[in-house]
Chain A
Amino acid sequence: MVGILIVAHSERLARGVKEFAEQATHGQVPIVAVGGAVDGSLGISTEAIRDGLRRVAGNDGVLVLVDFTSAALSVEAVLEDEPAMRVVISNAPLVEGAYFAAVEASVGATLEETAAAALRGRDLVKVPSDRPVRYQ
Chain B
Amino acid sequence: MEERVVRIRHPFGLHARPAADFYRKTREFRSRITVRNMSRRSSVELPVSLLNLLQLGAAQGHQVLIRAEGDDEREAVAALAALLDQLTAEE
A residues lining the B interface (CB < 8 Å): 20, 23-25, 99-100, 103-104, 106-107, 117, 120, 123-125, 128-131
Contact = CB atoms under 8 A, between A and B. Distances in A.
Interface of B: 16-17, 20, 23-24, 27, 40-42, 49-51, 54-55, 57
A107 B27 contact: yes
Interface core residue of B40, B49, B57 (most chain A CB under 10 Å): B57
In terms of DSSP, what is the predominant structure of the interface of chain B?
helix
A99 to B, nearest CB: 6
A132 to B, nearest CB: 13
Given A100-B51, A124-B54, A24 B17 contact: yes
A130 B42 CA distance: 7
B41 A103 contact: no
Contact of B57 (A24, A104, A107, A128): A128
Contacts of B49: 120
Give 6 closest A-B pairs by Cβ, nearest first: A128-B57, A24-B20, A130-B42, A103-B20, A107-B27, A120-B51
